[in-house]
């Protein structure tokens, strides 16, 4: 039963949100091992950097819907896999402001609140690389004045900054 604040009830998926983040380094074996390890776990989101690709698209994973960057002419460097049990409860808007950033904005199907009285929640997956001595993703592009609660995950390569 939902309370008057319209927050999610205790049994809803976002109450027990689990996020797994990993850089696959384009390895199909790493990808398969990772999804094999979580097969019987209730992982909500799997955020990959440098995922293995087949014909330019990230590989599929049973039980997950894949969202990837949609920058035309750029190699897909990030992919976010959403557990299919979440697709029944939420709508998704996928935005790729850059080839190395994937912004997944989600809202409930019934228009209710998700987190802290907000109707939307953002999951931002990023892969900061060094190209010609420059970062491909600036911290300012990730840490913006977003009015919605946000979670930023990824391979930030802070050791190279």
Q: Provide, rounded to the nearest whole percent, the portion of the chain with pLDDT above 90.
A: 50
Average pLDDT of the chain to the nearest whole number: 85
Burial of residue 6 (CB within 10 Å: 0-12, 13-18, 19+) is middle
**What are the structural domains, with CATH classification, of the chain?**
13-160 (3.60.10.10)
pLDDT category at 13 given cuts 50, 70, 90 is very low
Could you tell me the pLDDT band of residue 70, with boundaries at 50, 70 and 90? confident
Measured between alpha carbons, how far is 25 from 44 in angstroms, rounded to an integer? 22
Lowest mean pLDDT: which of 1-5, 39-43, 49-53?
1-5
The dihedral sign for the CA sequence 33, 34, 35, 41: positive
Q: What is the pLDDT of residue 158?
A: 66
Q: How large a percentage of the chain has pLDDT more than 70?
A: 88
Residue 54 has pLDDT above 60, yes or no: yes
Higher pLDDT, 38 or 157: 38
Given a cut of 50, whether residue 138 has pLDDT beyond it is yes
pLDDT of residue 159: 59
**pLDDT tens column, 21-44:** 999 999 999 999 999 999 989 899
Most confident range (mean pLDDT) of 5-14, 58-67, 78-87, 150-159 is 58-67
pLDDT at 151 over 80: yes
């Amino acid at each position: 039963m939902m309370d008057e604040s319209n927050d999610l009830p205790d049994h809803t998926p976002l109450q027990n949100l689990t996020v797994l983040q990993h850089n696959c380094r384009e390895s199909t074996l790493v990808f398969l091992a990772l999804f094999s390890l979580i097969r019987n776990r209730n992982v909500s989101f799997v955020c990959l950097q440098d995922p293995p690709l087949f014909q330019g698209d990230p590989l599929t994973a049973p039980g997950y819907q894949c969202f990837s960057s949609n920058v035309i002419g750029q190699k897909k460097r990030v992919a976010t896999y959403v557990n299919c049990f979440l697709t029944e409860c939420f709508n998704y808007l996928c935005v790729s402001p850059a080839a190395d950033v994937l912004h997944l904005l989600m809202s409930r199907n019934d228009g209710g609140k998700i987190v802290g009285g907000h109707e939307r929640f953002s999951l931002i997956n990023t892969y900061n690389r060094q190209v010609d001595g420059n970062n491909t993703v600036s911290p300012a592009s990730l840490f913006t004045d977003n009015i919605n609660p946000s979670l930023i995950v990824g391979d930030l390569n802070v050791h190279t900054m």
